[in-house]
Structure 1
Amino acid sequence: MPTHVFDTMGTTVSIRSAGPAPSGEVLREVEEAFAGFDRRFSLYRDDSELSRVARGELALHHAGSILRDTYAAAMTWSHSTAGAFTPHRPDGVLDLSGLVKADAIAAAGRILDAGGAPSWMLNAGGDILVRGAVDGMPWRLGIVDPDARGTLLCTVALDGARRALATSGTAERGEHVWRRPAAAADSRSYRQVSVIADDIVTADVLATALLAGGPERCDDLLDRFDVDVLLVDDRGDVTASPGFRSAAGLILA
């Protein structure tokens, strides 16, 4: 299966093709799309527009329309998740990384579609968007066990409208998500959340929101958004929505 791999935005991106591979020009456009997001939004680049905002050199209302629109979208997600997802760090720094990687994946997917690639899987650091099928069968993706990174909890099939899978957790990157304070000292928290959705932005944002909001926010978020989830809590208990169990072909608690 043809595979194209490159590093960008602090992660590795791979594109696997189950049919004719995208042309070199299309792959260059995909790489440039990710690079453009990195140049604008990375807080690890001193010359990015967002870094200038974070340092106070550029007022947000004077920033370019793309940055302002992305911030507006992030705030819409923040309001719709009651703050479980937020573009603001605890120290007040504006950080749009929770949204822009998914935006970049979505943009890359549009480029692949426009370039005529019939069946592909785009994986950016574990957040995945697919198109088409593999030999007539849905793309099947693995969910890593946070307690044993070399093994899988299960595999899931992405079929029909369900084209996106995102996972957020602490096993690989540590505590990188700003969590809401627990309501009680013995409250559980999630170690890993995987979300299947129709689009990668919804999957990625809600994986972050569920990890941050924890079990106290889970039912509310799942009632309001059409997604399927696999949840691993800090006790090692694994639960899944009915749709996720169906996609995985497994019976989970």
Structure 2
Amino acid sequence: MGTVFSFDVRGGEPAAVRTALDEAVAQLRRADEVFSTYREDSQVSRLARDEVAVGECAPEVAEVLGLAAEAERVSEGWFSTRYRGRLDPTGIVKGWAVERAARRLASAGATGVSLNGGGDVQLLGTPGSGRPWRVGVSDPLRPGGLAAVVSAAGAAELAVATSGSAERGAHVVDPRTGRSAVTDLLSVTVVAPRLTWADCWATAAFAMGSREGLRWLESLPGVEGLLITAGDEVRCTGGLAAWLG
């Protein structure tokens, strides 16, 4: 997936959690092997070349493509798995893979899990009694600075995902044109229970632009957003304040 992953795991029986950690890392590596569009022999690359059918691929492929179809429906086409006419589900794979790996650790008895995949984070449980997980949101206009800090206080699970052009350049594609999305935004950060969806919604909202993106995020239950424009204007959904601290 071309990024760095970091784990912060608390509680649980050490041997069981260590085994789960090894399995979670193996899951992430497996996801890269299956879904990488940079590997000619990956199942997704072969699927894109019509060398195999979905039913001949690993079960995860059908699962991810089903989730992606739902994301495309909810976003009214602003999220897409097509890039210049070619199958490319990378917009959903990282969030899905990180969330799945985090849940593997929780299922092994870990009482607190923070799994960061390239800046997108899935949080489960707590890091300690009376202490919430906290995630800093980078300020795209001030390198090294923070635009906000998200607190997971009161949430059994919370995800934070950011899409934008500040760190990776113009990598978000407008599905209507097949070219880089041209909007007034520098970044969109989405807060939601599951990283699978938070990652998708951040990408879709960024492609929409600040006005339409904010309106759409407001319509999604359990989802909040922070949008920063190139003009240094900060816009946020009505319920975001409850997660800041």
**Structure 1 length as normaliser, TM-score?**
0.85
The amino acid of 1:29's aligned partner reads: E
3-state SS of 1:23 partner: helix
- CA contact 2:24–2:105 (8 Å) conserved in 1: yes
| Residue of structure 2 aligned with 1:29, choices 11, 23, 34 | 23
Question: d(CA) in 2 for partners of 1:180 and 1:125?
Answer: 23
CA separation of 1:235/1:179 partners in 2, compared to 1, >3 Å: closer, same or farther? farther
Question: d(CA) in 2 for partners of 1:226 and 1:201?
Answer: 14
What residue in structure 2 maps to residue 208 of structure 1? 203
| Structure 1: segments with no counterpart, 5+ residues | 1-8
Q: Does 1:226 align with 2:222?
A: yes
Question: d(CA) in 1 for partners of 2:63 and 2:9?
Answer: 32
Question: d(CA) in 2 for partners of 1:196 and 1:220?
Answer: 14
Q: CA deviation at 1:69?
A: 3.2
The amino acid of 1:16's aligned partner reads: D
Question: d(CA) in 2 for partners of 1:192 and 1:111?
Answer: 30
| Residue of structure 1 aligned with 2:80, choices 77, 86, 93 | 86
Question: d(CA) in 1 for partners of 2:104 and 2:63?
Answer: 21
- CA contact 2:151–2:244 (8 Å) conserved in 1: yes
Deviations 1:52-109 (A, max 9, x none): 12233234565444323322221221111111111111x1011111111111112112
| Residue of structure 1 aligned with 2:64, choices 53, 70, 80 | 70
CA separation of 1:61/1:134 partners in 2, compared to 1, >3 Å: closer, same or farther? closer
Q: CA deviation at 1:38?
A: 0.9
- CA contact 1:130–1:164 (8 Å) conserved in 2: yes
Q: CA deviation at 1:133?
A: 2.1
Question: d(CA) in 1 for partners of 2:135 and 2:204?
Answer: 22
**Structure 2 length as normaliser, TM-score?**
0.88
What residue in structure 2 maps to residue 49 of structure 1? 43
3-state SS of 2:115 partner: strand
Q: CA deviation at 1:28?
A: 0.9
What percent identity do the matched residue pairs reach? Answer: 34
Aligned residues: 236
Q: Does 1:164 align with 2:164?
A: no
CA separation of 1:139/1:178 partners in 2, compared to 1, >3 Å: closer, same or farther? same
What residue in structure 1 maps to residue 131 of structure 2? 137
Q: 70-79 vs 219-228, which deviates more?
A: 219-228
CA separation of 1:239/1:116 partners in 2, compared to 1, >3 Å: closer, same or farther? same
3-state SS of 1:149 partner: coil
3-state SS of 1:156 partner: strand
CA separation of 1:180/1:96 partners in 2, compared to 1, >3 Å: closer, same or farther? closer
Q: Which aligned runs of 4 or more in structure 1 are off by greater than 6 angstroms? A: none
